[in-house]
Structure 1
C-alpha cells in the first residue's frame, strides 16, 4: 500500500535525502519517494504504519513537519510518472553531458599536443579532469552529498563518514592523475573504490528506487539511472586498461 503525505521544511536535496533516510528506516516502510518541489512524499509500506509513527521519526528534526495529504488517484499518478519519463535524456542529464564533453575535449587536446595521439595520456587526462570536477561539485555542499550518498552506497549506509571521506579521495585521485603520481597505486585505488561504489548504484537502479544521484553532489537534482552505472563502469574500465598496459 502507498500513501501520500505533505512534508514541509525541506529546502534542498540534502533535506530530501535526510527525510528519505529517516522515513525509510521505519519498520514496514519499503519505499519512500519524495517530491521536493511539491513538498510531498509517497510512502509504500507492507503493513499499515500510523501517521504518528512517521511523525515520530522526524521528531529530532523539528523543522520537518509531516501530515496526511489527500490521496491522489492511481490514474493521476501513472500520468505523472509518464510525464516524468517523457522528459528528454538531454534535458535530464545536461550537466553530466556538458562535463563529459568539456573534459573529453580537453583530454583529446592534451593527448594530441605532441603531434601523435597518445591514448594512455588521453585516459589519464580525462580521469584527472573527471575526478577534479566531480569532487568540486561535491565540495560545494559536503553535508548534503553525504546525506544523499548514504541513501544508496553500501559503505556510507553503515558508516556515514564515508561520504565525507569519499569527496577527498576523489580530489586526491584527480590530483594524482594530473601529476601522474604512482600510476600503479592510483589505478588500483580507482579500481577498488569505483567497484565498491557501483554495487550500491546497481542495487538502486535494478530495484527502481527513485532517488537522487549524488555524483554531482546536491547542486543538480539528477535521478539515479543507468547513466550513473555508465559513469562508474567507465572509470573502472579505464583504470583496468591502464593497469593492464603497465603490467
Structure 2
C-alpha cells in the first residue's frame, strides 16, 4: 500500500540498473501513461535495492504497480486490470502464419511493381507462394531440433525415417529459393511436389481421419499454431507449385 495516493496516481516500482532495464517495467510505464495516470516512477537501481523492495512488500517479482491504495501487481496483472487480453503462451494462435503470409504477399506485390510496374501479375502470385515457402522454412531452421521433434508427431515419412525431419526444411527452402528465381525448375518442382504430397497426406490423416489435436510444426517447433488447415494449405501450395512451374517452363500454360 502506498500512503497518500489517490485513484489517478500510479506508483511504479521497476528495476533499472546499469546492467539491466526491465522490459516489463517499461511496458507497464507506457501502459499507465497511455491510460492517463499521474505516474510516479520508482526505479530500483541495484539488485540489492530490488531484493529489499520485494522482501518489504512481500512480492516475488518486479515491476509492481500501485494505483491509489491498491497493489495491482506486475505487467500482466496491469493488463488484466485495464481489461486487456493477457497473453497465454499455451493458447493456440494463427498470428505467426498470418504475419508470414501477409509479408510474403506484400513482398510479392513489391517485386511485381519493381519488375513489371504493375502490382497484380501472374509472377506476383508465384512469388507469393515461393516467398511464403522460404519464410516457413526459415521458421523451421531457427530451431531444427524442436521442429523435427514436433514433426514426428504426425508426419508419416518422418515416423519411419527420423532424419527426414531434418531434411524437410532444407528441401522447402531450396524449392522456394529456386522458384523465386525461376531457375532449375526440374529441381525445385520435384522437391516441392514430393514433400508437399507427403505432408498433405500426413496432415489429412492426423487431423481429419485420426481426429488428433496437435500443434503444427509448419512455423517451427515452438509455435502454437494448431495442426490442420494452415499446414494442409502449406503443403497444397507446394504441390501446386510443383505442378505449375514445369507447365509454365514448358510453355504448356
Shorter-chain TM-score range = 0.5 to 0.7
Q: Which residue of 1 aligns with 2:233?
A: 230
2:135 aligned counterpart, secondary structure: helix
Q: Which residue of 2 aligns with 1:244?
A: 247
Residues 238/177 of structure 1: CA separation in 2 closer, same or farther (3 Å cut):
closer
CA RMSD of aligned residues (A): 2.2
Alignment of 1:1-247 (within 5 A): 92-113=93-114, 114-116=116-118, 119-206=121-208, 207-247=210-250
Inter-partner Cα distance in structure 1 for 2:234 and 2:222: 18
Unpaired runs of 5+ residues, structure 1, are 1-90
Residues 141/212 of structure 1: CA separation in 2 closer, same or farther (3 Å cut):
same
Say whether the 8 Å CA contact 1:184–1:246 is kept in structure 2. no
Residues 120/240 of structure 1: CA separation in 2 closer, same or farther (3 Å cut):
farther
Inter-partner Cα distance in structure 2 for 1:212 and 1:180: 33
Inter-partner Cα distance in structure 2 for 1:149 and 1:110: 32
Residues 119/186 of structure 1: CA separation in 2 closer, same or farther (3 Å cut):
farther
Inter-partner Cα distance in structure 1 for 2:118 and 2:226: 39
Say whether the 8 Å CA contact 2:104–2:131 is kept in structure 1. yes
1:213 aligned counterpart, secondary structure: coil
Inter-partner Cα distance in structure 2 for 1:128 and 1:230: 13
Inter-partner Cα distance in structure 2 for 1:234 and 1:178: 14
Inter-partner Cα distance in structure 2 for 1:205 and 1:178: 31
Residues 238/180 of structure 1: CA separation in 2 closer, same or farther (3 Å cut):
closer
- Structure 1-normalised TM-score? 0.58
Say whether the 8 Å CA contact 1:145–1:214 is kept in structure 2. yes
Output one character per residue of 1:4-53: Cα deviation in whole Å (capped at 9) or x when no partner: xxxxxxxxxxxxxxxxxxxxxxxxxxxxxxxxxxxxxxxxxxxxxxxxxx
Q: CA deviation at 1:97?
A: 1.0
Q: CA deviation at 1:243?
A: 2.5
Unpaired runs of 5+ residues, structure 2, are 1-91
Inter-partner Cα distance in structure 2 for 1:117 and 1:136: 26
Q: Which residue of 2 aligns with 1:34?
A: none
Residues 181/246 of structure 1: CA separation in 2 closer, same or farther (3 Å cut):
closer
Inter-partner Cα distance in structure 2 for 1:146 and 1:100: 22
Q: Which has the larger radius of gyration?
A: 2
Q: Which has the higher contact order (CA 8 A, sep 6+)?
A: 1
Q: CA deviation at 1:116?
A: 4.3
